[in-house]
Structure 1
Amino acid sequence: MRFKASIQNIHTFTKLTTSLNSLGPLAWVKLSDQQVCFTIIPEQGTQVWAVLQIDTIFDTYTVQSAAGNVINLEVPLTSLTRALKSALNATSAQIRLTKKDNVPLLALTIVTTTSSNHAAFPTGTRNDEDGMENFDNTFGSGNRETIVTQEIPVRVLAPDTVAGLHEPQTREPDVHIMLPPLMQLKSVSDRFTKLALVGAKNGSTATRTRLEMAANMHGCLKMSIKTDAMSISSVWTDLTNPDLDPSHVSGGDIGLAEHPSTRMKQLGSADGRSEEGWATVRIDGRDWGKVMSVGRLGGRVIACFCHEHALILYVFLPSDTAGEESVLTYYVSSYSA
């Protein structure tokens, strides 16, 4: 079993793990020849199924195993994120799967170069509060090269252990819409949640942190919150409802004509005032704020509303290369009315 890769986009990798870590402490990471997958399945809250193209994060990349060149790992995201943050100013960074005292580890080796007037610096090992770091300093042409290796304990998962894990099954969405910038949505939802918490001090009910999200097929999105003490909402208009590709719809053109979103498009209006044609979900405000942290990565986001059932977000990461896109899929369950 072998995995080794050089990291070409440390900032994207760090933002990704930071966002995922807000939803759960552990990730199932699937390494294969074609892609890298991160999955978060918490006991409660939003599930994330991220499919990353290799060149989104890595440059050179090697994975080998007896199980069809697939390696499954359970990775502590807090430790991985901390290690990646230490590499933000690195000249280069590599990550590999190794072992120490029979414990599997992800070893992140970071190289930094700084100017120096000194002639020598010792090689050795430092043990600090974040764990063991091995470092080595060499010099040349007035520059000092520092090599630090951070070790993240992981668990190797047998293929049978993850064989039964699958993405949630949802019905065809009633509405699909391109969301405004997620950090903008996060700012509004966080403000709503804080206002609800203030209302809670005055005796509002336990539903105080539940946001109501709704959208229609005329480019309208609405976010609202209601408590015993208040009712507030924000509406976005002139958003885009992407066209569905008949080749991706069961039944082709006939299936598209009978698709729930096609029927919803016949209802409502573009000014958002009509009460018809809206698909609605009710979600936890704090959980939603954590989901919105993925907005740090940029990229476009398509939201699929299954009325009174679930909200599915497809976050497409920016890429400098053509080909398949990296996408993070968020499954947010709706509370009952």
Structure 2
Amino acid sequence: MLVESLFHEYKVESNANDEIYLEMKVEDLLLAMRSSNNASAVVMRMTGRSADAFLTFTITTEDHLGNSRPITQNVPIVKIMTADGANNTAVFTEPMIPTPEVHIMLPQLERLRHIAASYKNLSDFIVISANLDGEMVFTTCDGSHQFNHTAGDAVTESITAKYGIAEKAHVETRFVNLHNPLLKLSEEEEHPHRERLRHRPKEFASVMIRVSDLQKVLQSHYIKPQNVICSVLHDHSVLFYVYLKDTNESTLTYFIPESAV
């Protein structure tokens, strides 16, 4: 990510090409980030040396009267590494997934956040369905049902329930006239997206995930993204590509596998 995507002002000085490599516990950093959600200003600086080093966050909040109140939080630094040490540190392995067939632009994130919050009060699971005709459907699900989708038709519930448990409430939210981004493909490349667009544009691809996982993705509205593309892999997973504003080089990617009950 570009530095400008994260900081308004910054200054880094070190003997290693003005770069500093730090190892921290995610939960410690997350605690400071959550405290910064409603802040009017956040200043982060590195303090201490080696064994007692910290990332110190000065978080300024304002009450309804406009009075400012600073809060300081220290995030312990587990290790200060060299460039070679950082490059040789084991990182996570990206999951192997099939090629997505359906790509669609999400509606306004703020609107989706309210929908997801309402769904959370009704169910722990949600079925996300989309096609290449600009349609996207969110459906509540109790996690025990399978859903079938027919071309050009509304989302319909199959009669097969894994545990024979009926939903107490069934809520469906449908979006139409959304944008399906075109993939840059060579004429010789036989891509699943192209085959589906040519023969089955109205056919839905669907995946069931937890509402709480969707809510985590929608938190990206805080960074005011330029757009968010959703890629649905039927009965497998869903990916969200969050493109940051004012840059073509910074993208956040969320991968959510289908939930298993």
Same fold (TM over 0.5): yes
Displacement of 1:55: 1.3
- Which residue, out of 176, 185, 200, partners 1:237? 176
Displacement of 1:253: 2.8
Residue of structure 2 equivalent to 1:118: none
Displacement of 1:81: 2.1
Relative distance call for 1:102 and 1:84 in structure 2 (3 A) is same
CA deviation profile, 1:198-237 (whole Å, cap 9, x unmatched): xxxxxxxxxxx22110111111101112341333211111
For residues 12 and 60 of structure 2, the distance between their equivalents in structure 1, rounded to whole angstroms, comes to 20
Residue of structure 2 equivalent to 1:264: 196
Displacement of 1:296: 2.8
Displacement of 1:336: 5.6
Name the SS for the 1:240 alignment partner. Answer: coil
Name the SS for the 1:184 alignment partner. Answer: helix
For residues 38 and 174 of structure 2, the distance between their equivalents in structure 1, rounded to whole angstroms, comes to 40
For residues 112 and 199 of structure 2, the distance between their equivalents in structure 1, rounded to whole angstroms, comes to 25
Relative distance call for 1:95 and 1:289 in structure 2 (3 A) is closer
Which runs of structure 2 are paired with 1:278-293 in the superposition (5 Å)?
Answer: 278-293=204-219
For residues 66 and 101 of structure 1, the distance between their equivalents in structure 2, rounded to whole angstroms, comes to 15
Query: Match for 2:172: what amino acid?
Result: S
Displacement of 1:244: 1.1
- Which residue, out of 42, 53, 67, partners 2:2? 53
Residue of structure 2 equivalent to 1:219: 134
Displacement of 1:188: 1.6
Structure 1 contact 312–330 (Cα < 8 Å) conserved:
yes
1:183 is the counterpart of 2:87: no
TM-score (norm 1): 0.56
Q: How many residue pairs are counted as aligned between the two chains?
A: 222
Structure 1 contact 83–108 (Cα < 8 Å) conserved:
no
Relative distance call for 1:306 and 1:86 in structure 2 (3 A) is closer
Query: Match for 1:216: what amino acid?
Result: N
Which runs of structure 2 are paired with 1:1-337 in the superposition (5 Å)?
Answer: 52-58=1-7, 59-62=9-12, 64=14, 69=19, 71-74=21-24, 75=26, 76-81=28-33, 84=36, 88=40, 90=41, 94-99=43-48, 102-108=51-57, 150-156=73-79, 158-159=85-86, 162-196=89-123, 209-227=124-142, 228-229=166-167, 230-246=169-185, 252-255=186-189, 258-268=190-200, 277-299=203-225, 300-319=227-246, 323-335=247-259
Relative distance call for 1:329 and 1:231 in structure 2 (3 A) is same
Relative distance call for 1:161 and 1:221 in structure 2 (3 A) is same
Relative distance call for 1:57 and 1:109 in structure 2 (3 A) is same
Relative distance call for 1:161 and 1:169 in structure 2 (3 A) is same
Greater Rg by CA: 1
Structure 2 contact 36–59 (Cα < 8 Å) conserved:
no
For residues 77 and 152 of structure 1, the distance between their equivalents in structure 2, rounded to whole angstroms, comes to 6
* RMSD (CA atoms): 3.3
TM-score (norm 2): 0.71
Query: Match for 1:214: what amino acid?
Result: S
Structure 2 contact 29–75 (Cα < 8 Å) conserved:
no
Displacement of 1:161: 7.2
Residue segments in structure 1 that go unaligned for 5+ positions in a row: 1-51, 113-145, 197-208, 247-251
Residue segments in structure 2 that go unaligned for 5+ positions in a row: 62-68, 143-165
Structure 2 contact 104–229 (Cα < 8 Å) conserved:
yes
For residues 70 and 57 of structure 2, the distance between their equivalents in structure 1, rounded to whole angstroms, comes to 10
In proportion to residue count, which structure has more strand? Answer: 1
Query: Match for 1:212: what amino acid?
Result: V
Displacement of 1:63: 5.9
For residues 94 and 210 of structure 1, the distance between their equivalents in structure 2, rounded to whole angstroms, comes to 38
Relative distance call for 1:82 and 1:210 in structure 2 (3 A) is closer
For residues 103 and 228 of structure 2, the distance between their equivalents in structure 1, rounded to whole angstroms, comes to 10
Query: Match for 1:326: what amino acid?
Result: S
